[in-house]
Amino acid sequence: MSGAQSHDGADPQRLNATHDPALKSWVAAANRPGGDFPIQNLPFGVFRRAGTPEFFRGGVAIGDQILDLGALHELRQVSGSAADALAACTEPTLNTFMALGTDAWSALRAALSRLLREDAKEAPTLRSALVAQAGAEFTVPARIGDYTDFYASIYHATTVGGLFRPDNPLLPNYKWVPIAYHGRAGSIRVSGQEFRRPQGQVKAAGAECPELAPTRRLDYELEVGVFIGTGNALGHPVSMDRAEQHIFGLCLLNDWSARDVQAWEYQPLGPFLAKNFATTVSPWIVTLEALAPYRTPWSRPAGDPQPLGYLDSPQLRQSGAIDIQLEAYIDTAQMRAAGTPSHRLSHSSFRHSYWTVAQMIAHHTVNGCNLEAGDLLGSGTQSGPGADEAGSLLELTVSGKVPLTLTSGETRAFLADGDRVTLRGWCEKPGYARVGFGEVAGTVLPFIQDPKSDQNAK
């Protein structure tokens, strides 16, 4: 359903029966306090049993289990529009389901909520459709046609701008324009990704010429990913009051960055080789509907310019922000060998984002750009106002000048080979169930020169 027109459908901000904090599931693990996947969540992903030649298909996380949507479809326990939506989830990506729109997403989520409640008469039949998450293999949940990474945290932008441009840290357009760059969809992988340390052109301070070398300043970026559901036709902008109907859901995202490569290449056209070698996403997409209880008002600080009309709306002011707690952890090869717990690097919230998900959609399409089902937007590094809320090592170590001491006694200015970074996210507030995103993890492997590369072809 590429290029589908927007339509008025279910309101992703409206509370309904699926948000009831009193709901319990017949899947016991979903009822444990502090879990990421209670019955009030029901995030979507794509999986198969690990070590098997099975086809990938859609699944929904419930406790420590996966409800196999392919198996559920065969059991014929869902009817009406929800059944049509369920059939789309039997495919190896969620694109067809995403393109169906808010009514279909909401109908299937409501049906799944009913089937998974502790008093559901279908429970004995549905137990055969459960697969343990620990025994599953995941893949990127959508076929991502395009990937755009924004720069939506003013705290990150100001700090990083000060490191790269001390005399002009925040460029004058930042408070007016949701800044972004077009990333590379082909190097996006699911959590568990391992990637080689990249190389690129770097220019040392005082050096006359740059050199080709493996990056010495490899970094992570703590981000939120936004998966597009229904698209918009080429030439048809999406307005603020309809923007969220185009958003299927959110995930966690790590846009790995080579800071020394970035410093040399980013002017005048922005990131290139510094960021296109690896991006990692979490396996689970939490629907915008599931996040409805955690919406918060959005406003601009006193003295900042108010957004232009196409980036503003009453709904934005009332509930445009989302309070998602975000954390980053590191564990080194030495820590894993010794059984040392991971070291928490930072903790922040997505509510601090200067630009919201709706504003990203409205700006991305205002020139007529067409978004399609499965397209991915990144929020950019999410940093908060405190020093311990920074979403990258570049900020936490002041560009490497103040290395961190980890719980193992090791120090880090930037990532070393063997380091694994894990991002986690969740929402919680009094009177509602905790809703989590799971985690996204990735590990740095040593640089290995490919003997067949063009530079060695001579």
Domain 147-447 in CATH 2.60.120.560? The answer is no
Length of the chain: 458
| Rounded distance between C-alpha atoms, residue 77 and residue 88, angstroms | 15
Which part of the chain has CATH 3.90.850.10? 147-447
Which residue type is seen at 70?
G
Q: What is the DSSP string of 398-436?
A: TTTTSPEEPTTS-EESSPPTT-EEEEEEEE--TTS--EE
pLDDT digits (tens, 9 = 90+) for 353-386: 999 999 999 999 999 999 999 999 999 999 999 9
Q: Is 73 a catalytic residue?
A: no
pLDDT over 90 percentage in the chain = 88
Domain 17-139 in CATH 2.30.30.230? The answer is yes
pLDDT at 2 over 80: no
pLDDT digits (tens, 9 = 90+) for 63-102: 999 999 999 999 999 999 999 999 999 999 999 999 999 9
pLDDT digits (tens, 9 = 90+) for 23-41: 999 999 999 999 999 999 9
pLDDT at 5 over 80: no
Q: Which residue has the higher pLDDT, 454 or 39?
A: 39
The rounded mean pLDDT for the chain is: 94
* SS3 state of residue 124: helix
Characterize the bridge pairing of strands 279-281 and 188-190: parallel
Q: Given 19, 156, 352, 363, which residue is catalytic?
A: 156
* H or E stretch at 214: strand 211-214
Which part of the chain has CATH 2.30.30.230? 17-139
C-alpha torsion 272→274→278→177, nearest 10:
-60
